[in-house]
Amino acid sequence: MPEEIDGDSPKKRPYDIEILKKTMRIIKNGPYSYLKLKNLCDNIYKDYKLNIPTNLKDTFRECSIFGHSPHNINFGNEEEGRMIQLRIEEIPHFDVIPWDYYAGEENNLTVENQVKIPIWWYKIDEKKHGTAKYFTKIPKKIGKGGKYYWVTTIPYSEEKGFDFKVSFDYSEVDNFPSRII
């Protein structure tokens, strides 16, 4: 949790702090079946009133009989809905490419390899080390111009996502460039 790490005042969180604390107390490492995960969630949210600020009920009423076509209701793109906004983006994010996807190859600097992370990860890294240790800006030549991509050495897997708790040293990564800005 950001403020516990950097000592700053509390930041806006996407989830209630009590739910996070309860989850940390209950969840254990190891595999989970769907039923076990469902029971875990039921236990965590047992006495919690969900306050989800969406227009889902209104959209359902408007669209259920002779309403809009599914094409007009469904998601417009990966991040936003056409008629229903499920998640309000209150925590700033930015796109990075995990080092394993980049691997020192300019042709791997593509939008398809980017993953969104909260910007506070970068800020913590910068504050802790005086400069960003786990992030670097890499240029890619495009025609006469160019574009920059952020690459991170924070360990990443498609199955689990980022492992931010692992300490990671640039010397462990072959061919990692010095900061390019």
User: What are the pLDDT digits (tens) for 155-174?
Assistant: 888 877 887 665 444 444 44
Tokens of 24: 């940390």
- For helices 17-26 and 34-44, give the axis angle rounded to 10 degrees: 130
Greatest distance between any 2 Cα atoms in the chain? 62
Question: What pLDDT is recorded for position 172?
Answer: 42
pTM of the model: 0.49
Residues 6+ apart with CB under 8 A from 181: 137
**Least trusted range by pLDDT, from 70-74, 132-136, 138-142, 168-172:** 168-172
**Least trusted range by pLDDT, from 2-6, 40-44, 72-76, 144-148:** 2-6
Question: What pLDDT is recorded for position 151?
Answer: 94
Amino acid at 45: Y
Asked whether residue 176 carries a pLDDT value surpassing 70, the answer given is: no
Question: What pLDDT is recorded for position 102?
Answer: 93
- What average pLDDT does the segment 42-69 reach? 75
Mapped to the 3 state alphabet, what secondary structure does the chain carry? Answer: CHHHHHCCCCCCCCCCHHHHHHHHHHCCCCCCCHHHHHHHHHHHCCCCCCCCCCCHHHHHHHHCCCCCCHHHHCECCCCCECCCCCCCCCCCEEEEEEHHHHCCCHHHCCHHHCEEEEHHHHHHHHHHHCCCCCEEEEEEEECCEEEEEEEECCCEECCCEECCCCCCCHHHCCCCCCCCC
Specify the higher pLDDT residue, 79 or 143. Answer: 143
